[in-house]
């Protein structure tokens, strides 16, 4: 209890320290996120939280990245990208992590249909922008502190892996810069040899705590259903994993309509 109260006071102190240069910080960051960054274990002593100075330096880097890379990502700038390529039928958020909900957390689920994306004809950076925009919106506009992800890629080929690796590398790099301590869990299912190869690429730039949140699930339907039921809940396991929830119509709606359905019209 005392540690929690003390950390709460330190969170207020952190906001005050950052507000001089970023006066609107409380409008796009919730105290829960700053608390989670500050409360992570120290690298030198796993039994202690990060020092105030280390956490501040980490948050400053994220704020610098936000100002340079995230602020320009708006619905007005992303809508044409989605309309041109239809990215939202392959990359979207739908539903909330039920394991996290049991702990009182609101954690949206990001789906990536990796084997369906025409990698050779699309600019991977545009795909990264759309993915990052979903995260930015969830965190800054809809009050979520973390997200979970599902990578669905049953028909990956070597050529797909070659093109997708650029997306994985860029997204991993931007994730580390802009969204530390945001990942709740990630499920790759089904996991074949090529999926594992992509995973090895991502591991090169992802921090160890992130790697520990990754779940590589085999190709069997029963294994997928068992793992994903804890994530989505029984009624929301997608049909492409043998469950009852059909995403087909949702995937045709477009980015803006999807966000309205997933998070509601009212933004926090």
Identify the residue with better confidence: 250 or 2: 250
Q: How confident is the model at residue 194 (pLDDT cuts 50, 70, 90)?
A: low
State which CATH number among 3.40.50.10540, 3.40.525.10, 3.30.1330.60, 3.40.50.720 fits the domain covering 75-263: 3.40.525.10
Stated pTM of the model: 0.85
Per-chain mean pLDDT for the chain: 84
- pLDDT of 2 strictly over 50: no
From the list 35, 23, 81, 28, the residue with the least C-alpha distance to 267 is 28
Q: In the chain, what is the straight-line distance between the N-terminal and C-terminal CA atoms, in Å?
A: 29
- pLDDT of 18 strictly over 90: yes
Count other Cβ atoms within 10 Å, centred on residue 162: 11
Question: Alpha helix locations (H) across the chain?
Answer: 2-19, 25-28, 31-39, 52-65, 75-85, 98-101, 124-140, 158-178, 193-203, 208-211, 221-232, 248-251, 255-263
- The whole-angstrom separation of Cα 135 and Cα 141 is 10
For residues 164 and 117, is the Cβ–Cβ distance under 8 A?
A: yes
For residues 262 and 94, is the Cβ–Cβ distance under 8 A?
A: yes
Q: What angle do CA 71, 73, 76 make, to 5 degrees?
A: 120
For residues 217 and 242, is the Cβ–Cβ distance under 8 A?
A: no
Average pLDDT over residues 160-180: 81
Identify the residue with better confidence: 147 or 162: 147
> What string of DSSP letters covers 174-186?
HHHHH-TT-EEEE
Peptide bond into 45 cis (omega under 30): no
* pLDDT number for residue 144: 92
183-188 and 147-152 strand pairing: parallel
CA atoms within 13 A on the CB side of 143: 9
Identify the residue with better confidence: 39 or 154: 39
The string of pLDDT tens digits covering residues 118-150 is 888 888 888 999 999 999 999 999 989 999 999
* pLDDT number for residue 155: 67
% the chain with pLDDT above 90? 47
The string of pLDDT tens digits covering residues 29-74 is 988 899 988 988 877 776 778 889 999 999 999 999 999 999 999 9
* pLDDT number for residue 167: 83
Average pLDDT over residues 193-204: 62
Average pLDDT over residues 148-164: 74
Average pLDDT over residues 99-113: 94
The string of pLDDT tens digits covering residues 204-247 is 656 666 677 777 776 666 666 777 888 999 999 999 888 899 99
* pLDDT number for residue 268: 44
CA atoms within 13 A on the CB side of 138: 30
Question: What three-state secondary structure class fits 75?
Answer: helix
């Amino acid at each position: 209890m005392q540690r929690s109260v003390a950390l709460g006071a330190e969170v207020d102190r952190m906001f005050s320290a950052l507000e001089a240069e970023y006066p609107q910080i409380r409008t796009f960051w919730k105290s829960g996120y700053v608390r989670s960054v500050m409360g992570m274990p120290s690298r030198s002593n796993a039994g202690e939280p990060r020092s105030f100075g280390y956490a501040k330096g980490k948050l400053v880097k994220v704020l610098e990245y936000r100002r340079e890379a995230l602020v320009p990502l708006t619905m007005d700038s992303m809508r044409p990208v989605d309309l041109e390529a239809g990215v939202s039928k392959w990359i979207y958020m739908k539903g909330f992590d039920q394991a996290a909900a049991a702990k009182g957390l609101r954690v949206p689920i990001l789906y990536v249909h990796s084997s369906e994306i025409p990698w050779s004809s699309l600019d991977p950076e545009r795909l990264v922008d759309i993915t990052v925009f979903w995260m930015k919106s969830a965190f800054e506009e809809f009050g979520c502190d973390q997200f979970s992800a599902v990578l669905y890629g049953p028909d990956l080929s070597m050529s797909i892996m070659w093109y997708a690796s650029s997306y994985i590398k860029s997204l991993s790099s931007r994730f580390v810069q802009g969204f530390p301590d945001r990942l709740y869990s990630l499920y790759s299912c089904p996991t074949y040899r090529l999926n594992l190869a992509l995973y090895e690429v991502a591991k090169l730039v992802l921090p160890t705590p992130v790697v520990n949140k990754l779940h590589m699930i085999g190709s069997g339907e029963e294994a997928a259903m068992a793992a994903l039921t804890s994530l989505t809940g029984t009624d929301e396991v997608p049909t492409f994993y043998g469950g009852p929830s059909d995403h087909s119509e949702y995937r045709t709606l477009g980015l803006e309509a999807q966000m309205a359905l997933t998070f509601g019209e009212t933004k926090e």
